[in-house]
Structure 1
Amino acid sequence: MRRPQGRTRALLLACAIGAAAGWLGVRPAEPAPPSAPLFAVDPAPSAPSSTASPEPTTTTRKPPPANACGTLAAKLPLRDRLGQLVMAGLDPADEAAATRVVTVDKVGAVFVGGTATHLLTGGRLAALRAKATVPLLTAVDEEGGRVQRIDALDGPTPSARQLAATMSPEQVTAVAHRRGEQLRSRGVVMDLAPVVDVSDAAANTVIGDRSFSADPATVGTYAGAYSDGLRRAGVIPVLKHFPGHGRGSGDSHLGLVRTPPLAALRADDLRPYATLIPRGEPVVMLGHLDVPGLTGGVPASLSPAAYRLLRENYRFAGVAMTDDLGAMRAVTDSYSLPDAVTTAITAGADIALWSAPAPTGPVLDRLERAVRTGELPQSRVRDAVTHVLRLKTGCV
């Protein structure tokens, strides 16, 4: 197990101390202060009970060093920099395999899926984070309703549609805050929620009751409220699925989904993003969606034009990540996992996700070859690593 030494560790700590001015510090008017520190400040907390949130840090906050992101990135070997750009799926019952992914492959993020809860109990996920050279993102899919990860441990929460129909935005913030505290107590620092798709489709369809509403303004209000609750608990929210899955032609688990044309998305599905992104939302997930007039028949998650739309038209400055590249036929019908990850990062993704356990070595080998041949430009790697390190540490 290799630890950051000397100046590298000092830079990590300085950046982490300044991170409160980053993604957790950007709020709508009159926010409540966060109830937990950024995880990068405390990369190895002791495991609290399932009902308690971590204690706030008492460290004095100082500005991070100038160009700290670039300095940190430059100190990492190429393969370790590339590792920061993947979110590898773990077997939640196999602690030894999870440790190898973090300590040997040195990935920057992991996803805990499936139904087993071993890694989510006994402080195991916090212990895994403590083994990482660079602060580790630990993520789950916890939307409520049909998509829940800790309901067997901490009880269920309602679907997005039910929340919007029965609660005020303030009440939804409280629900998400409580869920965020439960996630954080189990070592989770990122939740792949809220869903920002606009839909009135039947509850059991692919998006259905995962959507807050068929009204874009309502979606923006309630997704923002849910995001606020997670952030106040010290959990990173992820807006999904850009540029809008709510009116898509089907389920991207089963094949490529076609949306209405871009002009129609701008008038409806993209409106919540125009509301939420200026608030400083930290992460946006791109879906496997073919958008006429934008993506040219490939998924948005692999389309340079989709990432340009997010960055240039919607002025998003945070981390852009993909939907699952390893278990959804919209991608797997045409790409191997190493090729899909390489294509996504080259197109503009900062983090490429696969949800089920898969060998990490071939993915990193493929990325290294792409850098050395020029297929994946060094400038794209620098840009992506900077986004990821800024999210983790608050460096500039």
Structure 2
Amino acid sequence: MSVDEEGGRVSRLRSLIGGTGPSARELAQTRTVQQVRDLARDRGRQMRKLGITIDFAPVVDVTDAPDDTVIGDRSFGSDPATVTAYAGAYAQGLRDAGVLPVLKHFPGHGRGSGDSHNGGVTTPPLDDLVGDDLVPYRTLVTQAPVGVMVGHLQVPGLTGSEPASLSKAAVNLLRTGTGYGAPPFDGPVFSDDLSGMAAISDRFGVSEAVLRTLQAGADIALWVTTKEVPAVLDRLEQALRAGELPMSAVDRSVVRVATMKGPNPGCGR
């Protein structure tokens, strides 16, 4: 079971785990790295009591934008080293509690042109992201177990007119590390929400968006409604039969997801 629980203004569990807690920016300004790890561990333990095993946090976007902008105070700051240290501590605290952290929004929403909930977003060119927005990922993708969420971000020099979440080039950048100085990453890759964000929904229905993100190499396609499930499954079955989605890719994703979930002593009995 997964949740978007960052603290601050993105807190889906505020009524269940004792309020929102500080934003990421406030944490970086007022707490030590160890204190942030402890806070994330405590919140992670509360999530586990609710049956939650995946948290779509921490945000590792690098920005000094005002607090109330799309990323704003959800970011730990404008310095990549600070973001790496504090996001790493938050992720480790979640791991300490038995919750999988998911870094977001690859390859970097911090300097995007707008809000992908409202429409298409363009980032600076890839060459600019390498020295800033992508820096935290070089370290944090090595600290397993960890997942990565790919954002709905058009990146000049990488994705063309496609959002990164539907771009094979963007997922390959994450998987190989080639091009931004990171090691290969073979952990689970998630899309951002495919049903409620205009950067996607203005262009594609849910079924087509799910297929495209899986074709790009994501392991898990996210969307927030349930009514499309039958149509999505029908479209994916059709894509498998037609060779639009290779079974080998599905098998690799199954292995990654199974590894993420961990061994089940009762499995196979």
Question: Is the TM value for this pair above 0.5?
Answer: yes
1:393 Cα deviation (Å)? 2.3
Which one-letter code corresponds to 2:18 in the other structure? G
Which residue in the other structure is 1:165 paired with? 29
d(CA) in 2 for partners of 1:357, 1:249? 30
The reply to whether residue 237 of structure 1 matches residue 101 of structure 2 is yes
d(CA) in 2 for partners of 1:394, 1:271? 32
Which residue in the other structure is 1:332 paired with? 201
The reply to whether residue 274 of structure 1 matches residue 143 of structure 2 is no
1:181 Cα deviation (Å)? 0.7
d(CA) in 2 for partners of 1:139, 1:244? 22
d(CA) in 2 for partners of 1:279, 1:363? 33
Match of 1:151 among 2, 5, 14: 14
d(CA) in 2 for partners of 1:335, 1:384? 23
Closer/same/farther in 2, CA of residues 273 and 281 from structure 1, 3 Å limit: farther
Q: Which moved more, 1:248-257 or 1:384-393?
A: 384-393
Structure 1 spans left out of the alignment, 5+ residues = 1-137
SS at 2:203's partner residue? Answer: coil
Q: How does 1:175-194 map to 2 (within 5 A)?
A: 175-194=39-58
Q: How does 1:86-105 map to 2 (within 5 A)?
A: none
Match of 1:290 among 128, 131, 154: 154
d(CA) in 2 for partners of 1:299, 1:258? 9
Which one-letter code corresponds to 2:92 in the other structure? D
Closer/same/farther in 2, CA of residues 271 and 281 from structure 1, 3 Å limit: farther
The reply to whether residue 372 of structure 1 matches residue 235 of structure 2 is no
Which residue in the other structure is 2:255 paired with? 386
Match of 1:360 among 196, 219, 229: 229
Over the residues paired in the alignment, what is the CA RMSD in angstroms? 1.1
Structure 2 spans left out of the alignment, 5+ residues = 265-269
Which residue in the other structure is 1:259 paired with? 123
- The answer (yes or no) to whether the contact 2:207–2:228 under 8 Å persists in 1 is no
1:358 Cα deviation (Å)? 2.8
Match of 1:246 among 110, 113, 122: 110
Higher relative contact order by CA 8 Å / sep ≥ 6: 1 or 2?
Answer: 1
d(CA) in 2 for partners of 1:233, 1:266? 32
Which residue in the other structure is 2:267 paired with? none
Which one-letter code corresponds to 1:145 in the other structure? G
Which one-letter code corresponds to 1:248 in the other structure? G
Match of 1:311 among 151, 169, 175: 175
- The answer (yes or no) to whether the contact 2:194–2:223 under 8 Å persists in 1 is yes
Aligned length: 258
d(CA) in 2 for partners of 1:238, 1:166? 23
Q: How does 1:46-61 map to 2 (within 5 A)?
A: none
d(CA) in 2 for partners of 1:358, 1:205? 31
1:380 Cα deviation (Å)? 1.1
Q: Spell out, residue by residue over 1:265-321, the C-alpha distance to the aligned partner (whole angstroms, 9 max, x if none).
A: 000000000011122242000000000000011110000000100001131110001
1:153 Cα deviation (Å)? 2.1
The reply to whether residue 351 of structure 1 matches residue 236 of structure 2 is no
d(CA) in 1 for partners of 2:226, 2:211? 18
SS at 1:228's partner residue? Answer: helix
The reply to whether residue 202 of structure 1 matches residue 71 of structure 2 is no
Identity percentage of aligned residues: 57
SS at 1:241's partner residue? Answer: strand
When Rg is computed on C-alpha atoms for both structures, the one with the higher figure is 1
Structure 1 runs (4+) greater than 3 angstroms displaced: none
SS at 1:284's partner residue? Answer: strand
TM norm structure 2:
0.94
d(CA) in 1 for partners of 2:245, 2:3? 28
d(CA) in 1 for partners of 2:17, 2:44? 11
d(CA) in 1 for partners of 2:37, 2:252? 32
SS at 2:104's partner residue? Answer: strand
Which one-letter code corresponds to 2:2 in the other structure? A
SS at 2:5's partner residue? Answer: coil
